[in-house]
Amino acid sequence: MELQCKVQNYEWGKKGSASKVAQLQKGANRQFEIDENLPYAELWMGTHVNAPSVVKTTDKPLADVITQHPEYLGEEVLKQFQELPFLFKVLSVNKALSIQAHPSKKHAEQLHAQFPDVYKDPNHKPEMAIALTPFEALCGFRPWPQIKHFIETIPELQEVVGLDSTTADGDLIRRAFKQILTSSKSIISAAIDSLLKRFAGSDAGERCFLHADLVERLHSEFPYDNGILMVYFLNYLQLKPSEALFLGANEPHAYLFGDCIECMACSDNVVRAGLTPKFVDVETLCSMLIYEGAPPEEKLYSPAREDGFSVIFRPPVPDFAVVQIKIPSSEVEYSTIARNSASILLVVSGNAQSSLGAVGSGTILFIPAMETVAFTNICGDLLMYQALANV
């Protein structure tokens, strides 16, 4: 059945028709008018109460359909979750999202019990991002020698951290990370002003080493924010379309710019510590992080080939997996693989006929477990993403 899904207009989203979210919503609904001054940040597909999807022909919430027909979930999903366990999204990021991490299942339950007004549900929130356009992110700690070198060679960073660099690497990074996030605004402001002056007098090589362009951009978005200096602690990744990141529990990260497919456990649990006007919880974040350094290429998550046209990203959690389907216009027809889980399929580009009628950019389908959808009259290369439970 075709779904009508909701857009979130968070202020960090891309504005107007530059947003992939707006483009897809317009493709699905010709009556949808794009406001060029409005940010279109996220498209939510699923049953989460904050923006539940409805069946397009009946306006009935998808959650109600599943309640009436639990067999749609699939036997294993019904047994393990009793509901659709994932939230599927498209993100269009124009301005950095907060430096954040997501708690483990057990920790999420504890945080929800202690601070229910801040951590509003007890579920964990592992997530995956697959680039639709060139996509920038900070993800995971840099290798220890790299962070240590930054601390030792950037006077402004040394001034804020104020630690003996002979300290054991892991302890140094842990303490330095927390020191930056807890330093006063006056200390951070002085360090950033000094850095900006240094950039102005630097040649291209030094600016590249110091990530000057990125620091200047983050400062323009969040002036004098403590999180700006996290550039020197976290890996800076520039994903090409179809490249992916998987973010498990306690992995520090921040999305910076671009459009992506995102899938996660059905949760909204976030612990923030910088680059945000929202509530920050530095103590909780610093206590929960995985302090392990790794090169950026190790953060990329590779899919497995399923057939000639589809690959599947299977993270090490049961809540979700994502299939990427690319069908060239030279193909006469294609049928999706029957899954043991209910799934949501998004058409990103191309056009075709299906058993439900014409589909094109922005079409979103709910597919019950073990059902398939056949596509014919394929026009233009058909790019689709399908989210399902990983059971």
The pLDDT score that the predictor gives to residue 119 is: 67
Contact (Cβ atoms closer than 8 angstroms) between residue 154 and residue 232: yes
pLDDT in tens, 153-167: 999 998 898 766 555
- The model's confidence at residue 115, banded by pLDDT at 50, 70 and 90, is confident
Pair of tokens at residue 370: 């073990």
Average confidence score pLDDT of the chain: 91
Does residue 171 carry a pLDDT above 80?
Answer: no
Does residue 116 carry a pLDDT above 80?
Answer: no
pLDDT in tens, 289-324: 888 889 999 999 999 999 989 999 999 999 999 999
23 among the known binding-site residues? no
The pLDDT score that the predictor gives to residue 275 is: 78
Does residue 9 carry a pLDDT above 80?
Answer: yes
* DSSP, res 2: B
102 among the known binding-site residues? yes
- The model's confidence at residue 235, banded by pLDDT at 50, 70 and 90, is very high
Q: Among 20, 36, 38, 37, which residue's Cα sits nearest to residue 28?
A: 20
The pLDDT score that the predictor gives to residue 102 is: 77
Average pLDDT over residues 199-215: 94
Average pLDDT over residues 187-193: 95
Paired with 310 in beta bridges are: 325
- The model's confidence at residue 172, banded by pLDDT at 50, 70 and 90, is confident
Measured CA to CA, the distance from residue 247 to residue 214 in angstroms comes to 22
- The model's confidence at residue 220, banded by pLDDT at 50, 70 and 90, is very high
The pLDDT score that the predictor gives to residue 43 is: 97
Can 272 be counted among the known catalytic residues? Answer: yes
The pLDDT score that the predictor gives to residue 165 is: 52
The pLDDT score that the predictor gives to residue 166 is: 54
Does residue 282 carry a pLDDT above 90?
Answer: no
Single-letter amino acid, residue 229: L
DSSP 154-166: -HHHHHHH---TT
Contact (Cβ atoms closer than 8 angstroms) between residue 309 and residue 158: no
Choose, from 272, 305, 314, 339, the residue flagged as catalytic.
272
The pLDDT score that the predictor gives to residue 251 is: 86
The pLDDT score that the predictor gives to residue 169 is: 65
Average pLDDT over residues 365-374: 96
Does residue 122 carry a pLDDT above 70?
Answer: no
Q: Which residue has the higher pLDDT, 179 or 117?
A: 179
Measured CA to CA, the distance from residue 340 to residue 329 in angstroms comes to 28
253 among the known binding-site residues? yes
127 among the known binding-site residues? yes
Q: Which domains, from first to last, does the chain contain?
A: 2-140+237-301 (2.60.120.10), 143-231 (1.10.441.10), 304-388 (2.60.120.10)
What percent of the chain has a predicted confidence (pLDDT) above 70? 95
* DSSP, res 264: E
Average pLDDT over residues 138-143: 93
What percent of the chain has a predicted confidence (pLDDT) above 90? 70
Average pLDDT over residues 186-207: 94
Residue 85 vs residues 124, 283, 343, 389: alpha-carbon distances, Å: 11, 29, 10, 7
- The model's confidence at residue 50, banded by pLDDT at 50, 70 and 90, is confident
